[in-house]
């Protein structure tokens, strides 16, 4: 698939590299595009893509999508792994979800929240650290979730690990797992773990 990765940081690079290795056509969109870095403007990257990965700070997600423009974003699939924090690493929008807000602001886009409950290295190497990891998926569009689930499989996620929580409203729950994630990092002194739902 043609995939635009917005954000050239840790998550964008990890997901872009992993999906390119799986055979996808990955284009990076940056606020500072450069020929040397092989990056386009965010808008140009989205223009040629079928799937847009928003690997930007959650606090910048709304502005990023606004700058891309509703007509360019259109009805593309938006895979959103973002999280929104204050400079002190507290929840930026307690009681609200950046993915749900993005879906409300861009109703034609098909937003799927996923991969936001783990460290970037685990996103692309899911079973290396934990044999029974869980990755959550939230979104209103069933077809978009099927595409995203396929991309997760390409990154190494077995179907038993993928838990579809339901609509984009359920992204509120996974975005609010962030304090649990950081408390666990502090307790274990490592980010090489994941959340497992067992039953």
Q: Applying CB under 6 A, which part among 1-9, 18-26, 67-75, 140-148 lies near ligand NAP?
A: 1-9
Contact status: 124 vs ligand NAP (CB under 6 A): no
Q: Tell me how far, at minimum, the Cβ of 115 lies from ligand NAP, in Å.
A: 7
138: β partners: 113, 166
Q: Radius of gyration (Cα) for the chain, nearest Å? A: 16
Q: Tell me how far, at minimum, the Cβ of 61 lies from ligand NAP, in Å.
A: 7
Q: Tell me how far, at minimum, the Cβ of 108 lies from ligand NAP, in Å.
A: 22
Residue pair 4/48 in contact (Cβ under 8 Å)? The answer is yes
Q: Applying CB under 6 A, which part among 79-87, 88-96, 153-161, 166-174 lies near ligand NAP?
A: 79-87
Question: Encoding tokens for residue 66?
Answer: 């606004």
Contact status: 120 vs ligand NAP (CB under 6 A): yes
Look-up of token digits 């799937």: 51
Q: Applying CB under 6 A, which part among 4-12, 67-75, 142-150, 153-161 lies near ligand NAP?
A: 4-12
Residue nearest to ligand NAP (CB): 9
Look-up of token digits 């954000």: 7
Contact status: 31 vs ligand NAP (CB under 6 A): yes
Separation CA 55–CA 81 (nearest Å):
6
By C-alpha distance, which of 111, 96, 122 is closest to 185? 122
Q: Which residues contact 141 (CB under 8 A, 6 or more apart)?
A: 77, 110, 112
Question: Encoding tokens for residue 60?
Answer: 């910048």
Contact status: 12 vs ligand NAP (CB under 6 A): yes
Contact status: 9 vs ligand NAP (CB under 6 A): yes
* Enclosing H/E stretch for 188: helix 178-188
By C-alpha distance, which of 170, 172, 167 is closest to 96? 172
Number of residues that bind ligand NAP (CB under 6 A): 21
Q: Tell me how far, at minimum, the Cβ of 55 lies from ligand NAP, in Å.
A: 5
Binding site for ligand NAP (CB under 6 A): 7-12, 30-32, 55-58, 60, 64, 81-83, 116, 119-120
């Amino acid at each position: 698939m043609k995939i635009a990765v917005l954000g050239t940081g840790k998550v964008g690079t990890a997901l872009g590299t992993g999906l390119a290795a799986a055979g996808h056509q990955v284009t990076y969109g940056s606020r500072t595009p450069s020929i040397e870095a092989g990056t386009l403007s965010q808008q140009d990257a989205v223009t040629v893509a079928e799937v847009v990965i928003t690997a930007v700070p959650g606090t910048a997600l709304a502005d990023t999508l606004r700058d891309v423009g509703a007509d360019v974003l259109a009805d593309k699939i938006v895979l959103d792994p973002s999280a929104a924090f204050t400079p002190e690493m507290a929840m930026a929008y307690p009681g609200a979800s950046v993915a749900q807000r993005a879906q409300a602001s861009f109703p034609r886009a098909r937003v799927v929240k996923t991969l936001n409950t783990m460290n970037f290295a685990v996103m692309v190497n899911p079973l290396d650290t934990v044999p029974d990891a869980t990755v959550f998926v939230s979104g209103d569009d069933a077809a978009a979730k099927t595409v995203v689930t396929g991309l997760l499989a390409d990154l190494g996620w077995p179907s038993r690990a993928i838990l579809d929580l339901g609509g984009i409203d359920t992204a509120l729950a996974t975005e609010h797992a962030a304090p649990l994630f950081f408390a666990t990092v502090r307790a274990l002194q490592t980010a090489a773990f994941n959340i497992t739902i067992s039953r």
